[in-house]
């Protein structure tokens, strides 16, 4: 591994005849393998009249295939101590698991069967719908979820796929049928949309051969791409309050539409975000709101640069009496950052952190697999881990300041408060 880090990860990358991309990286830390399959079929692929369809598919896709019953699938996973993590983001339907190296081929074959040939049994669909509806009901009682969902709906209005709840609505979930999900799968799941990453105690050639064996014969035409419309940043300040008087603490979600991942200012924006709301427990925001004012256990910012301009979101959990003061403090820090930019010391520290944290980020199989999958999705190149330190070192103070001025402006902030708080 040490040699690998000095020379870069240098994964092997092959594209099968049908378009499936296979990335493999051998490591020998533990006798285990992480398999990370990314299908470009995220929640943006929800039909307009069926929000939550992709998410519901993610809950039922591994409950039976053309050749395996739900019980057989479950037995195969349980016997190998494998718990599948299936998640849906805006753009990606992701299937991830870690298994013992000795189980790798069998597991990959099972995952391939699940991805290519789900049977979506009616009985399973009924049960999984019940779980999803319960999860939606739990979210309704969660101030953090409510605040972030309301923020996204305001930033990306009018049913934009970035503004919709991935789980959909109870009504939409209840109305979904097996036929609808099978059709959605047939329409959006195709070899051209799949990248398979294998990291762990298997040789790259072995991983590649296994992937070719599982996915090589898959023939489905490429789907029509779904391209979300770009959205203009808010023209003015918006404020939304969601009273939840049964709660002890309020959650604040404060955000802007920021930048796309392919934007040349991405690394400047990333450094700005680190200094603003991440470095050393919450950056400047943490220093003000948690350290100096003692108002919050958590306050941080996160940047989700995506295919189109994604959001920069600031989050804080505070007592109801401190909501207004916390928002004023966020305004103050945002205003100061846009006026003055960062100091040389702050930029250096954030840069050193982001560069220096790479060996930790790439220590585990799961960490490497996630990194490679992200690099593949955004087309960053097989040597992105080698180039990234240089890209961060090249960012100047002026570029960070420009990124702050471009993205942040208290007068254009969208602010949501959910919790035991009402309009003051």
Q: Residues 131, 171, 324, 398: which binds other proteins (CB under 8 A)?
A: 131
Measure the CA–CA gap between 416 and 149, rounded to whole angstroms. 9
The nearer residue to other proteins, 306 or 364, going by C-beta atoms, is 364
- Residue from 11, 317, 341, 410 binding other proteins (CB under 8 A): 317
Q: 87 by DSSP, 3-state: which? A: strand
Minimum distance from CB of 34 to other proteins (Å)?
9
Contact 242, 421 (CB under 8 A): no
Residue 363 within binding range of other proteins, rule CB under 8 A: yes
Q: Is residue 181 within 8 Å of residue 53, measured between CB atoms? A: yes
Tokens standing for residue 406: 């471009």
**Residue 293 interacting with other proteins (CB under 8 A):** yes
Candidates 209, 240, 358, 382; binder of other proteins (CB under 8 A) is: 358
Piece in contact with other proteins (CB under 8 A), picked from 182-190, 223-231, 275-283, 379-387: 275-283
Reference 370, options 89, 110, 115, 1; nearest CA is 89
- 229 touches other proteins by CB under 8 A: no
**Residues 10, 15, 17, 127: which binds other proteins (CB under 8 A)?**
127
Give helix 178-188 / helix 53-60 axis angle, nearest 10°: 100
Using CB under 8 A as the binding rule, whether residue 393 contacts other proteins is answered as no
Site for other proteins in 30-89 (CB under 8 A): 30-32, 71, 73-75, 77-83, 85
For the bound state, the minimum distance from the C-beta of residue 42 to other proteins, rounded and expressed in Å, comes to 21
**Which residue, 130 or 213, is less far from other proteins as judged by CB?**
130
Longest dimension (CA), the chain: 63
CB 296 within 8 A of CB 307: no
DSSP per-residue string spanning 77-128:
HHHTT---EEEE-SS-EEEEEEEEGGGHHHHHHHHHHHHH-B---HHHHHHH
* Termini Cα distance of the chain: 56
User: Segment near other proteins (CB under 8 A), from 40-48, 161-169, 208-216, 279-287?
Assistant: 279-287
Q: Does 374 engage in binding with other proteins (CB under 8 A)?
A: no
The span of 97-105, 217-225, 227-235, 262-270 binding other proteins (CB under 8 A) equals: 97-105
402 counts as binding other proteins under rule CB under 8 A: no
Query: 């972030």: which residue's tokens?
Result: 148
Question: Considering the rule CB under 8 A, would residue 354 count as an interface residue with other proteins?
Answer: yes
User: How many binding residues for other proteins (CB under 8 A)?
Assistant: 74
Cβ proximity to other proteins, 16 vs 95, nearer residue: 95
Is there binding between residue 344 and other proteins (CB under 8 A)?
no
Q: Residue 273 interacts with other proteins (CB under 8 A)? A: no
The Cα 19–Cα 39 span in angstroms is 12
Contacts of 351 (CB under 8 A, 6+ apart): 271, 392, 393, 395
């Amino acid at each position: 591994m040490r040699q690998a880090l000095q020379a870069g990860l240098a994964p092997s990358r092959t594209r099968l005849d049908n378009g499936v991309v296979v990335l493999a990286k051998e490591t020998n830390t533990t006798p285990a393998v992480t398999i990370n399959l990314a299908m470009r079929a995220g929640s943006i692929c929800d039909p307009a009249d069926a929000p939550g369809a992709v998410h519901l598919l993610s809950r039922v896709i591994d409950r039976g295939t053309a050749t395996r019953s739900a019980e057989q699938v479950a037995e195969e996973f349980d016997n190998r101590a494998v718990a599948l993590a299936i998640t849906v983001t805006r753009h990606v339907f992701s299937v991830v698991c870690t298994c013992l190296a000795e189980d790798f081929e069998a597991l990959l074959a099972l995952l391939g069967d699940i991805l290519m040939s789900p049977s979506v049994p009616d009985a399973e669909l009924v049960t999984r719908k019940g779980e999803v509806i319960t999860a939606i009901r739990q979210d309704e009682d969660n101030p953090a979820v409510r605040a972030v969902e309301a923020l996204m709906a305001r930033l990306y209005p009018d049913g934009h796929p970035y503004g919709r709840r991935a789980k959909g609505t109870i009504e939409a979930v209840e109305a979904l049928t097996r036929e609808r999900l099978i059709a959605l799968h047939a329409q959006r799941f195709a070899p051209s949309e799949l990248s398979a990453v294998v990291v762990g105690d298997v040789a790259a050639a072995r991983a590649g051969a296994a992937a070719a064996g599982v996915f090589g014969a898959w023939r489905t035409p490429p789907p029509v791409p779904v391209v979300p419309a770009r959205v203009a940043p808010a023209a003015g300040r918006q404020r939304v309050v969601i009273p939840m008087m049964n709660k002890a603490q309020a959650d604040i979600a404060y955000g802007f539409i920021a930048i796309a991942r392919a934007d040349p200012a991405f690394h400047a924006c990333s450094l700005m975000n680190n200094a603003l709301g991440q470095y050393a427990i919450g950056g400047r925001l943490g220093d003000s709101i948690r350290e100096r004012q003692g108002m919050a256990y958590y306050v941080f910012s996160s940047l989700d640069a995506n295919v189109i301009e994604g959001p920069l979101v600031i989050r804080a959990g505070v007592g109801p009496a401190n909501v207004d003061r916390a928002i004023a403090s966020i305004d103050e820090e945002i205003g100061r950052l846009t006026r003055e930019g960062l100091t040389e010391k702050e930029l250096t520290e954030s840069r050193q952190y982001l560069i220096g944290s790479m060996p930790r980020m790439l220590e585990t199989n799961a960490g490497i697999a996630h990194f490679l999958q992200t690099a593949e999705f955004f087309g960053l190149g097989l040597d992105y881990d080698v180039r990234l330190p240089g890209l961060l070192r090249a960012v100047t103070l002026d570029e960070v300041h420009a990124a702050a001025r471009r993205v942040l402006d208290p007068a254009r902030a969208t602010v949501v408060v959910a919790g035991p708080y009402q309009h003051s």
